[in-house]
Amino acid sequence: MSWPAPPDALWVTSGTAEGETELNAFDNALLNAGIGNLNLIRVSSVIPRGARIVDRPLALPPGTLVPAVYSVQTSDVKGDTISAAVGLGFSRDSHGMIFEHGSGSADSAERVVREMVAAAFARRELELAEVVVRTAEHRVQRVGCALAAVVLWWRDLG
């Protein structure tokens, strides 16, 4: 692999959790989503041409630097419903886009990311072939967090 080769694999995940603080709730949601021992490098929202959704890559060592697009919502209001969503838009013959949003309900967050994906494709004059959405919704007990994420990776790295 020559650098900088664009990622060709996308791993979509989500998680929810409680914690003693918002940061602890976020960390616990990352663990629940299976990405709590990775170092996320927040990136913007372009899916490289040809990249496809895959199952979780094989064991990535703790501390691995991974590019990711993610939405996170936290609250310390008992009874609040919080959600996070990521929406991935794919084109048949070009690159794609990822958008993220958080709101009260998963339905609302999903609706917003679908609209954002459609608008991004229209703005770029790309044909939208497929949309994939992942949401997480959580009812806050003490301090809660909802997280949805897309990890970008390379198939030949496992």
Give Cα separations from 139 to 58, 100, 110, 154 (angstroms). 31, 20, 17, 35
4 prior amide bond cis, ω within 30: yes
* C-alpha torsion 23→57→15→109, nearest 10: 110
Q: Structure tokens of 128?
A: 């939208």
Catalytic residue among 14, 83, 100, 137: 100
Q: Is 45 a catalytic residue?
A: yes
What span, in angstroms and rounded, lies between the C-alpha atoms of 49 and 108? 29
Catalytic residue among 45, 75, 83, 103: 45
CA 84 to chain centre: 9
Q: Is 39 a catalytic residue?
A: yes
- Cβ contacts of 135 within 8 Å, gap of 6 or more: 14, 83, 84, 85, 106, 109, 110, 148
Catalytic residue among 39, 105, 115, 130: 39
Q: Is 100 a catalytic residue?
A: yes
Annotated catalytic residues are 39, 44-45, 100
